[in-house]
Amino acid sequence: MNEKIERLKSLTYIPQKEIGWLIEQAELAVKQKAIIEENKLQQDITVKQFRQAQQDIRRLSGESSRYKKVLQQTIKNLQFVITTAKNELEGENS
């Protein structure tokens, strides 16, 4: 694209007004293409970050569920130990 712009700049048989317009349009197209490419790159990065966040959420949800189950089992075990200790104390006091 840049080569075409330079070639148009060197032409002398096209009226200056038209060549100026062509050059402006070509330069604008190059700038727009760069912006589009940058936006595409940013979009790809955002999609990757979003997918990573989804994976993290799933992993953390799973960990939370496992911790909850372990905590519930620990509470049951403690309740059993407390009940057993109470029974032993009541047996000793009788």
Q: What is the pLDDT of residues 19-74, one digit of tens each?
A: 788 888 889 999 999 999 999 999 999 999 999 999 999 999 889 889 999 999 99
| pLDDT the model gives residue 47 | 97
| pLDDT the model gives residue 90 | 84
CA-CA distance, 15 to 18, in Å (whole number)? Answer: 6
Answer yes or no: pTM beyond 0.75.
no
Domain residues of the chain, as ranges? 2-93
Of 63, 43, 40, the C-alpha closest to 51 is 43
The three-point CA angle 57-60-62 to 5° equals 110
Q: Which helix (H) or strand (E) holds 4?
A: helix 2-10
